[in-house]
Amino acid sequence: MASERCELCGEALDLPVKGRPDVLCKHCRRLRRLKRVLGVIAFVFVAIAAAAPFLYRRAQLAGLPDIGAPFDVEKFGTVVSGDDANAVLYYQAAVPPEQPDSDAVDSEGNAVDELQRALDKGWTHATPGIRAWLDSSRPTLELMKQGAKLDEAWTVQPKEQSYETFVSIGQHWPLSKLARLEAVRLRATGSPAEAWEWLRVAFRHSRHVGMHGRAIDRLMAASFHAEVSTSIPARAADSAVDSELLLTALSNIVEDYGLTKPMSTNLRSEYFLQMDTLQRYSPASSFDAFKDESQPLLSFLRNEPEVGKRVIRLTYENWLSQCDLPKHMQSPQRIVPPYLFEARIAGEDRESVPVTDIERFCARSPVAMRAVGRGMPLGQGILREQTRQKQLVVVLSAQLSFREPGRLPDTLEQILNEYLSEWPSDPFAPDQTPMGYRHEAASATAVVWSVGPDGTDSGGHVIDRWNDPGFDQGMKILTPDD
C-alpha cells in the first residue's frame, strides 16, 4: 500500500498505484463518470438539433407524393410545325405606324378615342389622322393578311415558356384594329365582300393570339374575339350583305373558330412557365412571381419550393382532367384554394391524393398559393368567348333567315340551318339549358342571351359590358340598316 494524493483534488488517500493510469478519490471518480455521461448527452442533443431541421423538412412531404409532370411533356411541349406555318412571325413583322394621338374631347372635356369611335360609328367618323394612319399601314395589313391564312401560331415553344422568353401580345391590338378599320372603310365604299374578308382576318388573328401561349395570352385572345364580335352583328345587318355573303360569313365563322385550341393547351403552357420560374428563382428571392415574403430559413424549413412543386403538379393534374369538358359535365369545384374539381380523375399509374389533402398542403405552402391559389387561370373568360361564338352563329343565322321572309324569326326552328343544326345550350348553365331568344316585334329586333356567370336569367336584358353581373350576356339582332 502506498499513500497517494488524488490527481484532481489533491486529497490524501491510501491506494495501490501500481499499474493504474490515474489516481482519483471516490468523489472525483464519480465526477468524471458524470462528465462523460453529460458529454454523451450533449453530443446526442447536438446531433438531434442538427438533424431536426432536415427531419422537419422531410416531414413536410409526408403524404404529399411527387407525381412528376401531370401530362406528357414530350407530347405537349413542342409544336410540330415549321416556321413557314407560324402566323406569329408575320404578325411580328407587321409593325404598324404609330397611331396618331386623339385630340377630340366630349362635352365634359374627357378625351375621346377617335379610332374606337370610327370602329363603332363608321367611316364618316374617321378623322383625317385616322385615315392617314390606315393608308400608311398598307404593308402592315398585307403581312397580317398573309399570317391570317395560316392555321398555326406560337411565340415560343410551350416547353420554353419563361419570364425571359415573355413577349407582350399587346402589340397585336393595333393589328386587330387596323383590320377592322379597313373593313369599316370598305363597307362605307360599297364593298361588303371585301369588308368581310378583313373582318375574317381579324377573327382568325384572334384565334392565333395565344394559341399555344400562357393563360394570359389565351385571355387576350378572348378579348380580341370579343372586339371582332362587336363588329360582325352590325355588318350582318347591312342591306348590302346578301344571303350568299351571309352564308360565306357563317361558314367562315364556324370553320375559323375550329382553330381554337382547348383550354388544356394553355394550362400546359402555364405549367411550363411556373416550373421554369421555380427552377430559376428561390422562393426567398425578390422575384415577385413566387416570392416568399418569409425569411430564407423559414422557406428552408417549409421545404420550399419542393412542397410547392408537388402541390402545383397535383393541382394541374386535377384541372387538366376536366377543364376541356362542358360546364354541365364537370364536377363541382371546391370553394377553397386551389379550387379543385371535386372528383379527381387520376391516371392509373398515379397515386391518388384526396382533394382535401391537396388543399391542406396548398394552404401551408406560400409557393403553391402564389402559383395556383387563385384557381384555374382560365374559366369564365373562355366561357364568355364560347358564349359569344355561339351567339354570333345565331345572329348570322337569324339574318340569313331574315333575307327570305323579310322579318326576323319568331321561333327557334326558323333559325336552324346546316351550320346551326340545333339550338345552342348556354355555356354558363350547369344543366344544358338552352340560350334565350326573343323576337321583339315592336322594335323589329331580336335578342339572344346567356344567363352569364351569376346564373340568373334577367330575360334578355343585355348591354355591351359583358362583365357586368347585373345583366345577361347577349347580342341584339338588328334588322338591315336599322
Which of 21-35, 176-190, 276-290 has the least mean pLDDT?
Answer: 276-290
Residues 333 and 402 in one domain: no
d(CA 239, CA 246): 11
How does pLDDT run across 375-419, given as a tens digit for each residue? 998 878 899 999 999 999 999 999 988 887 677 888 888 888 888
Asked if the structure places residue 257 within a domain, the reply is no
Per-residue confidence (pLDDT) for residue 26, from 0 to 100: 73
Indicate the residue among 312, 338, 372 that finishes a domain.
Answer: 372
Q: Does residue 317 carry a pLDDT above 80?
A: yes
In a domain, residue 233? The reply is no
Q: What percent of the chain is modeled with pLDDT above 90?
A: 46
Q: What residues make up the domain containing 9?
A: 2-59
Specify if 229 maps to a domain: no
Nearest alpha carbon to residue 281 among 296, 269, 267: 296
Residues 6+ apart with CB under 8 A from 67: 310, 313, 314, 317, 350, 351
Task: Quote the number of domains for the chain.
Answer: 3
Residue 143: inside a domain, yes or no?
Answer: no
Grid coordinates representing 133 are 394612319
HSE, CB side, 13 Å, CA atoms: give it for residue 5.
5
Percent of the chain topping pLDDT 70: 86
Are the C-beta atoms of residues 247 and 400 closer than 8 Å to each other?
Answer: yes
Average pLDDT value for the chain = 85
Same domain? For 315 and 339 the reply is: yes
**151 falls within a domain:** no
Question: 90 in a domain, yes or no?
Answer: no
In this structure, the answer to whether residues 467 and 386 fall within a common structural domain is yes
Grade residue 257 by pLDDT with cuts at 50, 70 and 90: very high
Specify the 3-state DSSP secondary structure of 437. Answer: strand
Is residue 480 domain-shared with residue 385, that is, in the same domain?
yes
Q: Are residues 298 and 349 in the same domain?
A: yes
Q: Is residue 77 part of a domain?
A: no
Residue where a domain terminates, one of 339, 372, 405: 372
Do 365 and 434 fall within a single domain? Answer: no
Residue 325 sits in the same domain as residue 365: yes
Choose the final residue of a domain: 10, 26, 59: 59
- For 117, the grid coordinates are 369611335
d(CA 424, CA 412): 10
Q: What is the pLDDT of residues 127-147, one digit of tens each?
A: 999 999 999 999 999 999 999
Answer yes or no: do 335 and 360 share one domain. yes
**pLDDT, average across residues 50-69:** 80
Is residue 392 domain-shared with residue 476, that is, in the same domain? yes
Distance from the Cα of residue 121 to its chain's centroid: 32
Question: The whole model's pTM is what?
Answer: 0.85
* Pair 180, 174: CB distance under 8 Å: no
Answer whether residue 100 is part of any domain. Answer: no
d(CA 260, CA 209): 10
**With contact defined as beta carbons under 8 Å apart, do 130 and 115 qualify?**
yes
pLDDT value of residue 93:
93
Beta bridge partners, 316, equal none
Task: Give the distance, in angstroms, between the CA of residue 269 and the centroid of all CA atoms in the same chain.
Answer: 9
